[in-house]
Amino acid sequence: MVKYFCLRTMNYLQYIIFAMFSSGAFAQGDTIPAYPREGFRTPLDNPILLAGSFGEPRAGHFHTGMDLQTLEREGLPVYALGDGYVSRIGVSPYGYGNALYITYPNGFTSVYGHLQGFSEKITAVVRKEQYAKEKFAVEIMLKPYELNVKKGEVVALSGNTGASGGPHVHFELRDQAERPINPLLFGYKMNDDVKPVIGALKLYPMGDKKYTAEAWRTALTLADGSYTPKAGLIKVNAKSVALAVNTYDKMEGTTHTLGIYDIKTYDGDSIIHEYRVDRVSFDYTRYVIAQVDYPIFLREGSRSFHKCFQEPNNTMPASYYHVYNHGVIDLSDGRVHDVRIEVRDYNGNLSTLRARLQYEPTATVFKSKNLGYNKVLAPTGDNVIQGDGFTATIPGRVVLDSMFITYTESTSSGPAILSNIYKLGDSHDQLLGYFNISIRPNAIPDELRSKALIVWRTAAGGTASKGGKWDGKVLTTRSRELGSYYVMLDTTPPHITPVNITPGKNMRASKAIYMRIGDALSGLDDYKAYIDDKWQLMEMDGKTNTLKVILPHDLAAGEHTFRLSASDERGNKSEYTVKFNY
């Protein structure tokens, strides 16, 4: 049964009028300084060849560095760019994996991610912290000039740790405000004469059709040096439109698809919008969902349609320039508008799209949209949606633009779900920031309350834990995705599977013990390995959930006991014990 609990009482016509005339905050480009173009050496010896570019769209974020290829192997020396000091060291099974931060006298910091390991003096600092905390994953903050390095000093070896898809070095440069900057602004050179590719053009109806008509896309042809729509002159049944282009970059010597650097949009001879990738703040890295058509990105294998316009709550700084009318093209004069979109990579290689647009009331390009909805999320104020045992409070600032969604409640057909299922829009719909959710589940025995959590149903139909804390009889959490939410219990401990050890096996030739651990719902919280009740250092590969326990070099001959314990986020524990020979 669908229940209607809407705080806002405006009808659809009132809302359209509100949306058309309300003014959102639109970001303009702030000042990008002239960064030093000399003084820093390259982080690797081999020429710069990219597997990923700065600012390219990724799932839920912009890429904040350049991925430097390492000849498809690990173990290449990684160098300090100049004289400086190690300011931070990170070790994690996920994210950047083994990561190193070096700060220089000019205030900039270089970041290296996915490293195989660190130099001897840096490793000593890491080991001291790991043994003191009896944890593999550590985050170490050092004082200025506590651990100094020299320009050209080997500080690490390239690797494939953390959330890396293959051997490479993730390389960043950050300013004193911890904002990642395009490293190419520091004078690094690449051999690249390949132009960006423009694959398709998408048109969005604006004005009075903005929320009532579907967007439309067309394929392109490349002739005489320019891309043009296969449709030729595009007549549209909307007095104003906005555009997006499916575009990406390529580079000599690699098959990787890269992000673009600059997109300029012209109406005739007038520039109306420019997007340029010079700097990304971590406060805005999630605004990738504002820059690209994110539902397409999720549904079509990370295909990036870059918007050549700005929506009401896209306030991302240092990215937009020459913005006129938010990038929206006014076609109400009925004339043919010659539109040009120029796409460049950092080396200046240029691709151009030319399109001719004209307003024609009888055109059929924009089809009417099926507006089956019962809730409106506005980009201002607070959006509160309440149901039977459910409340979602969505700040308007995290809504990119007005969203028309359907909210439903349904009962569960199985015993594993301990609440109604609350569907709040579609799981492909993402928000710019967090909103609060509270669910009152069915009666849960006191001894099981600590095992309860809120679950989100993913776009692929799986489940993802969103955790949750109790507030009386209500379980609360926060999320950035719309979709279905409900309560489950996690009473299943993590699974532990031995890989190369069996009872009584002689492990002298193996050098290390390998185990696989994981958790099906709430996720791993902690894991510890012991030999004869003495804690052992482990290496965890988050991609394969494989633990590597290096056998101590001074381990005595004879029988020993290996023990591995693991716990998940809801306090469920597992333990595996085996005796082996050495």
In this predicted model, which residue has the larger pLDDT, 243 or 20?
Answer: 243
> Rounded to 5 degrees, what are φ and ψ at 128?
-60, -45
Amino acid identity of residue 295, one-letter, is: P
- 50-186: CATH, from 2.60.40.420, 1.25.40.80, 2.70.70.10, 2.60.40.1120: 2.70.70.10
How buried is 391 (Cβ within 10 angstroms: 0-12 exposed, 13-18 middle, 19+ buried)? middle
Q: Are 490 and 521 in contact (CB under 8 A)?
A: yes
Say what the pLDDT of residue 2 is. Answer: 35
Which residues have CB under 8 Å from 54's CB, separation 6+? 63, 64, 65, 66, 180, 182, 183, 184, 259, 277, 280
Residue 409 token pair: 């409640």
Whether residue 3 has pLDDT greater than 60:
no
Name the one residue in this structure whose structure tokens are 């898809």: 165
Q: Please, which residues bridge with residue 200 across strands?
A: 219, 246
Whether residue 402 has pLDDT greater than 50:
yes
Confidence of residue 435 (pLDDT cuts 50, 70, 90): very high
Distance CA 303, CA 57 (A): 9
Domain ranges of the chain: 50-186, 197-359, 372-489, 495-581
Say what the pLDDT of residue 449 is. Answer: 97
Say what the pLDDT of residue 459 is. Answer: 83
| Cβ neighbours around 338 below 10 Å, total | 13
CA–centroid distance for 3 within its chain: 34
Q: How confident is the model over 183-222, as pLDDT tens digits?
A: 999 999 999 999 999 999 999 999 999 999 999 999 999 9
Strands 234-236 and 350-359: parallel
3-state SS of 290-334 is: HHECHHHHHHCCCCCEEECCCCCCCCCCCCEECCCHHHCEECCCC
Q: Which residues of 483-500 are buried (b: 16+ CB within 10 A; e: fewer)?
A: bbbbbbbbeebbebebee
Whether residue 23 has pLDDT greater than 60:
no
> What average pLDDT score do residues 296-315 get?
96
Helices (H), strands (E): how many in the chain? 4, 46
Distance CA 39, CA 35 (A): 11
Whether residue 372 has pLDDT greater than 90:
no
> What average pLDDT score do residues 158-186 get?
96
Distance CA 457, CA 469 (A): 19
Name the one residue in this structure whose structure tokens are 């924009």: 366
In this predicted model, which residue has the larger pLDDT, 320 or 27?
Answer: 320
Confidence of residue 25 (pLDDT cuts 50, 70, 90): very low
Q: How confident is the model over 119-166, as pLDDT tens digits?
A: 999 999 999 999 999 999 999 999 999 999 999 999 999 999 999 999
Name the one residue in this structure whose structure tokens are 């394929």: 219
Q: Are 372 and 11 in contact (CB under 8 A)?
A: no
Average pLDDT, the chain: 93
Q: Are 237 and 345 in contact (CB under 8 A)?
A: no
Q: How confident is the model over 373-384, as pLDDT tens digits?
A: 999 999 999 999
Tell me the fold of 372-489.
Chondroitinase Ac; Chain A, domain 3 (2.60.220)
> What average pLDDT score do residues 28-50 get?
88
How much of the chain, in percent, has pLDDT values that exceed 90? 91
Radius of gyration of the chain (CA): 27
Say what the pLDDT of residue 370 is. Answer: 86
Distance CA 493, CA 519 (A): 7
Q: How confident is the model over 452-503, as pLDDT tens digits?
A: 999 999 988 899 999 999 999 999 999 999 999 999 999 999 999 999 999 9
> What average pLDDT score do residues 334-346 get?
98
Whether residue 412 has pLDDT greater than 90:
no
Strands 350-359 and 226-229: parallel
> What average pLDDT score do residues 290-319 get?
96
Say what the pLDDT of residue 9 is. Answer: 33
Q: Is 3.40.50.970 the CATH number for 495-581?
A: no
Q: Are 97 and 161 in contact (CB under 8 A)?
A: yes
Confidence of residue 18 (pLDDT cuts 50, 70, 90): very low
Q: For the whole model, what pTM was predicted?
A: 0.92
CA–centroid distance for 351 within its chain: 27
Say what the pLDDT of residue 30 is. Answer: 66
